[in-house]
């Protein structure tokens, strides 16, 4: 039986991001995850400041539809 190193112990599969890379989905998934994090942070900031979408968009010097697009609504 082969000895496994500490880094291999308990690992029964390659890392998830390695699987995504092999399947060609890494970039898409990474971009989607980053967009969701940003959308969540924007929603949290909007709620914390008790601003409507329109008021928040004005504060960010953009338009409401851009916020909606980012937030996926």
pLDDT in tens, 18-64: 888 989 999 999 999 999 999 999 999 999 999 999 999 999 999 99
Domain boundaries, the chain: 16-71
**Averaged pLDDT for residues 3-7:** 52
Q: For the chain, give me the number of helices (H) and strands (E)?
A: 4, 0
For residue 36, what are its two tokens? 């969701």
What pLDDT sits at residue 9?
63
pLDDT band at 2 (very low <50, low <70, confident <90, very high): very low
- Give the span between the Cα atoms of 69 and 72, in whole angstroms: 5
Q: How many CB atoms lie under 10 A from the CB of residue 26? A: 15
pLDDT for res 10: 65
Q: Could you tell me the pTM of the whole model?
A: 0.67
């Amino acid at each position: 039986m082969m000895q496994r190193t500490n880094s291999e112990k308990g690992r029964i599969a390659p890392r998830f991001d390695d699987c995504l890379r092999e399947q060609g989905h890494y970039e898409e998934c990474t971009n989607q995850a980053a967009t969701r994090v940003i959308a969540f942070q924007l929603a949290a900031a909007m709620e914390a400041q008790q601003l409507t979408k329109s008021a928040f968009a004005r504060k960010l010097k953009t338009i409401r539809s851009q916020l909606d697009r980012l937030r996926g609504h």
